[in-house]
Amino acid sequence: MDEIRALKEIKKYHNGRFEMLTDLVVREISFTINVNDFRLVAIACLPENLPALALGFLFSEGLLMNQREILDSEYTPAENLINFKLDIPEERIQSFFLTGEKTSGCGSTLSSALSGNKRAFSELKIEAESILQLMRKFQQDSALFKQTGGVHSAGLVKHDEIAYYAEDIGRHNAVDKVAGMALMSQCDLTSYYLICSGRISSEIVKKCVRLGIPLIVSQSAVTSEAIRLGWEYKTFLMGFTRGGRFNLYTGIEEEIFVKNEY
């Protein structure tokens, strides 16, 4: 049908009877990221915003520290392949494979271990009602989810506006895509926060810690390991953000809210 959607013939059972129908589903591909002509990883993903996905992945997994380390990149759409020439220590790549663990999301890949020192919680200031209003808008924006039920969404927010938005079959991929979009625009991610549809697991927190994103807001649940890491690496976590409520799991004594509406 198009790049990200496909029509498939199905047999549906409903109210005691079968019928043949045409159903709309999301497309899935395998996208390969090479580093210095070496196959780093292949990611199952939605076939859009792939260069942003690759760039976000390299930063969120700690393989890149700054954009000066990128010497060149070549994207080959016909092969679903991107190759980066990077000026980075070989130890970084080896660490990715040695310390990496399988992620818990769709399109899963490796997620490398965190390193570095603890830091203070951000001095970010937000309004509780603004978070809820933004989540309602965020939930309404995913036409592809409404059509197929097959994607997660992620956005980067600044000044109560969703500045970058992406969808993918994997929640990790959606986060990497919006991060990559912002990085392509030379944005400082410490001044944004992440809004997402999927659960906040430890891998999502790790990505945001490496990217410098101070707050993660999800309409879904938060895991115990995510909460531990959120406290350790001073990242605000909000879960079950829907309707008129949310739960703040970390930084609960910090003055994050402009008004004490919680």
Tell whether 13 is covered by a domain.
no
- CATH value at residue 164: 3.40.140.10
Q: What is the pLDDT of residues 35-66, one digit of tens each?
A: 999 999 999 999 999 999 999 999 999 999 99
Tell whether 197 is covered by a domain.
yes
Based on the domain organization, do 85 and 132 belong to the same domain?
no
Among candidate residues 106, 187, 196, 208, the one labeled active-site is: 106
Q: What is the pLDDT of residues 247-258, one digit of tens each?
A: 999 999 999 998
Tell whether 217 is covered by a domain.
yes
Predicted local distance difference test score (pLDDT) of residue 24: 93
Percent of the chain past pLDDT 90, that is, above it, reads 83
Predicted local distance difference test score (pLDDT) of residue 97: 87
Predicted local distance difference test score (pLDDT) of residue 262: 44
What average pLDDT does range 84-103 have in this prediction?
A: 84
Rg (CA), the chain: 19
With a cut of 70, say whether residue 227 has pLDDT above it: yes
Q: What is the pLDDT of residues 104-136, one digit of tens each?
A: 455 445 555 566 666 799 999 999 999 999 999
In the residue annotation, 187 being an active-site residue is answered as no
What is the extent of the structural domain holding 48? Answer: 29-111
Tell whether 37 is covered by a domain.
yes
Average of per-residue pLDDT values in the chain: 92
Predicted local distance difference test score (pLDDT) of residue 47: 97
Tell whether 19 is covered by a domain.
no
Helix (H, G, I), strand (E, B) or coil at 50: helix
Residue 141 CA to residue 211 CA, distance in Å, equals 25
Q: With the CA atoms of 107, 108, 109 and 115 taken in that order, what torsion angle do they form, in degrees rounded to the nearest 10? A: 130
Lowest mean pLDDT among 9-23, 132-146, 201-215: 132-146
**261 pLDDT band (50/70/90 cuts)?**
very low
Based on the domain organization, do 48 and 141 belong to the same domain?
no
Based on the domain organization, do 243 and 151 belong to the same domain?
yes
Based on the domain organization, do 50 and 103 belong to the same domain?
yes
Backbone angles phi, psi at 211, to 5 degrees: -80, -15
Q: Any idea which residue has 């969120």 for tokens?
A: 60
Tell whether 262 is covered by a domain.
no
Q: What is the pLDDT of residues 178-201, one digit of tens each?
A: 999 999 999 999 999 999 999 999
Based on the domain organization, do 234 and 132 belong to the same domain?
yes
Based on the domain organization, do 71 and 138 belong to the same domain?
no
Among candidate residues 234, 233, 105, the one with its CA nearest the CA of residue 176: 105
Residue 255 CA to residue 262 CA, distance in Å, equals 12
Based on the domain organization, do 102 and 133 belong to the same domain?
no
